[in-house]
């Protein structure tokens, strides 16, 4: 793929040089450039075409127009990813509409949707509990924020997807690693997530950087991409570049949004999460019985806290701005911005080119980059109150398969990689980030594990490097909570 892009670049340069020699040559160059673009587009489409990838569902399924109702938390406005009732001309929304229609016709099933606008990370557990405790059989699938749903998972409200017909979790539309880290016990899967949960991609943490600023200081706008691909992108490099980018533009001796900033984050809380889990530190591992055990006593975590405090509080870092982080970054005076994929849409009119990076490694001993997803991501869970458990697996499997074939490419290839990002190198970087995203057991279940999974938030906010003392205070409560969680799973 890289060679094709290089060939295209040289052909384009050749055509542009010809264009300067006169009108006729310019017309010919335009025609040649158009042909090259069409060829490249066709090659890209062929490489990303998933339409021929088959699922394992029987061909003769017919559910006689039964209605399968899907409830989704909509406090963050996910309708365009889930419930599109007509074609709008938007490439992603039209793909969602077509996918829903295809599944409905293929299985002869009606798809019903309920958007709960009051649903978000703080309310979803209460909302879902109310339905289930009342014995309400309306909904066959709940889609709610991870942070809220994990708090009620031990109540016996959801079915084990591993025991239902038609699911094929070996298929490429399922995020196996993500689901593995959400499972307590190797045979229990209450939460499922795959391509149908498009919010998983949307809510992935990333770092944005100003390519024009980087080129000004280091001579090559793609230089950071090369560092990433060569495995050298780490916290020390982030700190160094951020520090060198700072200019006190208003000459007041302080770091404010009016300056040229090295590092910008809207808070020291959730923006710390991806750094904590992208450093390849084994906070939790499975034992011989398939259950997670927690060991927070990690020397690497102490090193990580020290490096993060240096980054967040060095001169040129702004971590609690008064103005919008998106407007501040788009102004062109910020080298790095901590954010998520969904923030890219705010930079469509940005004058400077921007790039998208994974969170850096802790140091050069780390083998690979890891990606994290915010805990407000939607997860799927099948309630015990559903009257359609016999067809739930088929419907959900088909929705994930159809999303994988058509909706994800529409969002990923067209909306994100073309509409929002700048350049082919950025597209390759997005590929790398997408392939690495997951969650972590102690992060996902932090609300029911004495908040141990967010311990680094507090340390960085307080500028405290005393990591070992902080986790020691939580150790007993965390272990008690973990055993209670495991016991509840076993009893259910």
5 occurs within a structural domain: no
Are 177 and 310 part of one and the same domain?
Answer: no
Domain harbouring 258, CATH code: 3.40.190.10
Are 394 and 416 part of one and the same domain?
Answer: yes
Are 223 and 310 part of one and the same domain?
Answer: yes
Average pLDDT along the chain, 492 residues, taken 10 residues at a time? 37 33 40 42 57 94 98 95 95 97 98 97 98 98 97 95 97 94 88 95 95 96 95 97 96 91 92 95 92 95 97 94 92 96 90 94 94 95 98 98 96 84 82 90 96 96 96 97 90 75
Taking a C-beta distance cutoff of 8 angstroms, is the pair 120, 75 a contact? Answer: yes
Give the long-range contacts of residues 77-82, CB within 8 A, separation 24 or more: 78/115, 78/199, 78/378, 79/115, 81/198, 81/199, 81/202, 81/407, 81/411, 82/113, 82/115, 82/143
| Distance of alpha carbon 157 from the chain centroid | 26
Q: Which residues 6+ apart lie within 8 Å of 297 measured at CB?
A: 468, 471
pLDDT at 2: 38
Measured CA distances, 97 to 60, 82, 92, 377 (Å): 23, 8, 9, 22
Are 397 and 338 part of one and the same domain?
Answer: no
**Domain end call among 406, 435, 464:** 435
Measured CA distances, 92 to 88, 98, 379, 416 (Å): 9, 10, 20, 10
Are 367 and 383 part of one and the same domain?
Answer: no
115 occurs within a structural domain: yes
Q: Which two tokens stand for residue 458?
A: 């507090």
Are 131 and 181 part of one and the same domain?
Answer: yes
41 occurs within a structural domain: no
Measured CA distances, 376 to 163, 204, 237 (Å): 27, 10, 29
Are 232 and 361 part of one and the same domain?
Answer: yes
322 occurs within a structural domain: yes
238 occurs within a structural domain: yes
CA atoms of 408 and 151, how far apart (whole Å) = 29
426 occurs within a structural domain: yes
Q: How many domains are contained in the chain?
A: 2
215 occurs within a structural domain: yes
Does the pTM surpass 0.75? The reply is: yes
Are 189 and 159 part of one and the same domain?
Answer: yes
Are 322 and 421 part of one and the same domain?
Answer: no
| Distance of alpha carbon 335 from the chain centroid | 22
Are 158 and 222 part of one and the same domain?
Answer: no
Are 361 and 236 part of one and the same domain?
Answer: yes
- Range(s) of the domain holding residue 147: 66-202+375-435
319 occurs within a structural domain: yes
CA atoms of 130 and 288, how far apart (whole Å) = 37
Are 258 and 358 part of one and the same domain?
Answer: yes
């Amino acid at each position: 793929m890289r060679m094709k892009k290089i060939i295209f670049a040289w052909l384009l340069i050749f055509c542009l040089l010809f264009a300067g020699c006169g009108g006729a040559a310019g017309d010919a160059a335009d025609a040649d450039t158009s042909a090259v673009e069409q060829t490249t587009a066709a090659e890209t489409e062929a490489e990303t075409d998933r339409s021929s990838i088959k699922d394992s569902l029987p061909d003769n399924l017919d559910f006689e127009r039964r209605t399968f109702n899907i409830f989704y938390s909509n406090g963050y406005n996910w309708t365009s990813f889930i419930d599109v009732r007509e074609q709008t001309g938007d490439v992603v929304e039209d793909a969602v509409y077509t996918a829903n229609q295809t599944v409905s016709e293929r299985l002869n099933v009606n798809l019903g949707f309920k958007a709960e606008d009051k649903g978000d990370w703080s309310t979803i557990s209460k909302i879902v509990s109310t339905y289930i405790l009342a014995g309400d059989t309306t909904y066959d699938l709940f889609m709610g924020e991870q942070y809220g749903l994990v708090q009620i998972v031990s109540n016996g409200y959801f079915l084990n997807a591993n025991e239902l017909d038609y699911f094929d979790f070996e298929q490429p539309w399922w995020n196996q690693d993500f689901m593995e880290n959400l499972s307590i016990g190797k045979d229990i899967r209450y939460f499922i997530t795959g391509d149908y949960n498009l919010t998983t991609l949307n809510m992935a943490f990333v770092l944005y950087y100003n390519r024009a600023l980087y080129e000004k200081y280091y001579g090559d706008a793609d230089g950071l991409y090369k560092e990433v691909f060569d495995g050298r992108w780490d916290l020390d490099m982030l700190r160094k570049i951020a520090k060198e980018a700072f200019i006190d533009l208003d000459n007041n001796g302080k770091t404010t949004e009016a300056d040229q900033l090295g590092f910008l984050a809207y808070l020291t809380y959730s923006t710390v999460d991806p750094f904590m889990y992208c450093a390849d530190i084994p906070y939790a591992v499975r034992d011989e019985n398939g259950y997670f055990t927690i060991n927070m006593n990690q020397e690497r975590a102490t090193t990580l806290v020290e490096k993060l405090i240096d980054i967040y509080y060095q001169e040129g870092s702004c971590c609690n701005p008064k103005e919008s982080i998106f407007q501040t970054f788009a102004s062109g005076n910020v080298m790095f911005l901590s954010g998520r994929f969904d923030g890219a849409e705010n930079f469509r009119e940005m004058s400077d080119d921007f790039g998208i990076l994974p969170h850096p490694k802790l140091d050069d001993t780390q083998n690979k980059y890891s990606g994290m997803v915010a805990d407000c991501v939607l997860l799927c869970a099948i309630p015990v109150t559903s009257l359609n458990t016999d067809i739930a697996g088929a419907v959900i499997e088909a929705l994930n398969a159809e999303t994988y074939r058509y909706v994800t490419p529409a969002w990923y290839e067209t909306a994100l990689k073309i509409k929002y990002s700048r350049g082919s190198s950025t597209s390759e970087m997005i590929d790398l980030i997408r392939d690495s995203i997951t969650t972590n057991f102690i992060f996902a279940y932090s609300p029911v594990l004495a908040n141990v999974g967010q311990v680094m938030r507090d340390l960085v906010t307080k500028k405290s490097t005393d990591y070992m003392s902080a986790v020691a205070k939580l150790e007993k409560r965390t272990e008690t909570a973990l055993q209670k969680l495991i016991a509840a799973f076993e009893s259910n």
